[in-house]
Amino acid sequence: MTTVSVGTLVAEVQGDGFPIVMMHGLGGTSNLFHPQLAVLGSYRVIRVDLPGAGRSPRPLEPLSMEAMTSAVVTAMRSLGVARAHLVGHSMGTIVCQRIAADEPGLVASLALFGALPEPADATREALPKRAKLARSGGISEVADQIVANGLSAQTRETNPAAVAYVRESIMRQDPESYAQSCEALAKVRAIDLRLIDAPTLLATGDADTVNPVSVAQAMTDKIKGAALRTMDRCGHWSTIEKVQECNQLLADFLRRVDR
């Protein structure tokens, strides 16, 4: 595994083969997809820290979904990636959707975990409050709220390492960058999903209350040929909560689109 700095992003790059680019969500880092490496041995896996997240610096301009998208596209080009499978989680799926609609030639397929097209109205209103809390020294409180709401009951009861990972991932973010990411997400308007013509998998936990199955179902109805899979007793942080299920779905999907 190599840590590279490419343009404004830091990314983990591992392996050789057809490229896969993985984009975490709000409060995540490249580590969110660490468990998936187990089934991606035959690919060149590029896991980015989105602008302002993890080790990627916060740009001078306030964060926006457009800037995140163009940072990833620029990074792909700098790494010589002409075409890749894109994998996203939560807010990262919005980046995936935008690249697929704007630069269809770059995208071989989309695998979207806990996907959303845009925040629901209630979330749009809640995100600025969360930004304020993060800025005022309360990012660990934010982390506690995410753990309480974002993980399934089963995960919270039986998988303390997953709980700890999610809490750590959020509380160790740069508070200002996290706040700006919240604000950027609050401004997102859905793209026209019918512009996506790459093969698409949506995978959502049946206990995901952040971006529930109904949201993924509505997206599946709009994306040509998209397939929706749900995971039992899985909350929003599926790649961490349900490693076996996610890996199986991802491996099966990639096998099908690579054929």
Q: Is 103 helix (H, G, I), strand (E, B) or coil?
A: coil
82-111 binders of other proteins (CB under 8 A):
98
Q: Taking the complex as a whole, how short is the minimal distance between the CB of residue 104 and other proteins, in angstroms?
A: 9
Q: Please identify which residue in the block is written with the tokens 């002409």.
A: 82
Q: Which is nearer to other proteins, 13 or 191 (CB)?
A: 191
206 scored as a contact of other proteins (CB under 8 A):
no
Q: Is 72 or 134 the residue whose CB approaches other proteins more closely?
A: 72
Asked if residue 179 lies in contact with residue 132, where contact means CB atoms within 8 angstroms, the answer is yes
Tokens describing residue 104: 């269809």
Looking at residue 231, its amino acid is: M
| Interface pattern 20-59 for other proteins (x via CB under 8 A) | ----------------------------------------
Of 41, 94, 43, residue with least CA distance to 65: 94
Q: How far is the CB of 209 from other proteins (least distance, A)?
A: 23
- Identify the CA nearest to 191 among candidates 134, 109, 115: 115
Structure tokens at 86: 């894109």
Provide the strand spans (E) within 51-181.
84-89, 107-113
The one segment of 126-134, 157-165, 193-201, 235-243 that binds other proteins by CB under 8 A: 193-201
| Residues near 136 by beta carbon (within 8 Å), at least 6 away in sequence | none
Would you count residue 72 as binding other proteins (CB under 8 A)? no
User: Applying CB under 8 A, does 125 fall inside the site for other proteins?
Assistant: no
For the bound state, the minimum distance from the C-beta of residue 66 to other proteins, rounded and expressed in Å, comes to: 9
Q: Which of 157, 192, 206, 232 binds other proteins (CB under 8 A)?
A: 192
Q: Is 191 in the site for other proteins (CB under 8 A)?
A: yes
223, 197 Cβ separation under 8 angstroms: no
Least distance from other proteins to the Cβ atom of residue 216, Å: 17
By the rule CB under 8 A, 189 interacts with other proteins: yes
The answer to whether 67 contacts other proteins (rule: CB under 8 A) is no
| 118/174 with CB nearer other proteins | 118
Joined tokens for residue 29:
């880092």
Residue 7 zone, left/alpha/beta (φ > 0; ψ -120 to 50; rest): left
- Binding region for other proteins (CB under 8 A): 98, 188-192, 194-195, 197
